[in-house]
Amino acid sequence: MASPFGSETATIAEVSIEGGEARVHNLWIAIDPGSVVNPAIVKAQVDSAAAPGLSSTLFEQVVYEDGVRQAKNYDTYPILRRDHMPAVHVRIIESGAPMGGGGEPGLPGVPPAVVNAIAAFGKKRIRTLPISKQGSRAFDQQVAADPC
C-alpha cells in the first residue's frame, strides 16, 4: 500500500526464481486517484510508472570508486531491459474523493511487492536493493521463519 500524491495504491507481484535470478512475470496495481477524468491516461501513467520502480528494484545502482562515479552513460549503467518488463494489470477504483496523482503513485508499491513475493518462497528476506546485487546466493538460503 502506498498513498502518494493523494492517491491510494496497492501492488502485487508474481515472481519466480530462475537460475538464481528473480524474474517478475506480472504486476497488479490498483489505484484510487479519487475522481477520474480520463481512465485511459490514468492506466497509462500507472503502467509506465511500474517500469522505473521495477528497474530500481532489480538492477539500478550507482557505483562509486574513490569518489568517482563508474557508469558514465547508459551503456554501462544497468537498467530494466524490455525483455524483463512484466505484464502490468491496472485496476482503477474511483472513490469520488478529490482528484489525486496518476503518474507517480504506481511506482512506490513495486519494490516491496517484489521483495515480499520473493520472501513468500521461504527465502531470506532481501533488505537492500538492487536485487541483482545480492547474487544467486540470496535465493539459495532457506529460512524457517522471518523474524519480521
pLDDT digits (tens, 9 = 90+) for 95-105: 888 888 888 89
Residues forming a β-bridge with 65: 68
pLDDT over 70 for what percent of the chain?
A: 87
Integer Cα distance of 86 and 98 in angstroms: 31
Mean pLDDT of 112-131: 87
Domains and their CATH numbers in the chain: 4-139 (3.30.365.10)
Total residue count of the chain as it appears in this document: 148
Query: Which element (helix H / strand E) includes 13?
Result: strand 8-18
Supply the pTM of this predicted model: 0.84
For the four alpha carbons of 34, 40, 41 and 42, in that order, the dihedral sign comes to: positive
pLDDT attached to residue 109: 95
Q: Cell 535465493, residue?
A: 139
Q: Helix crossing, 110-119 with 39-58: angle to 10°?
A: 60
Mean pLDDT of 43-62: 94
Integer Cα distance of 130 and 148 in angstroms: 20
Gyration radius from the chain CA atoms: 17
pLDDT digits (tens, 9 = 90+) for 72-121: 888 888 889 999 999 999 999 988 888 888 888 999 999 999 999 999 87
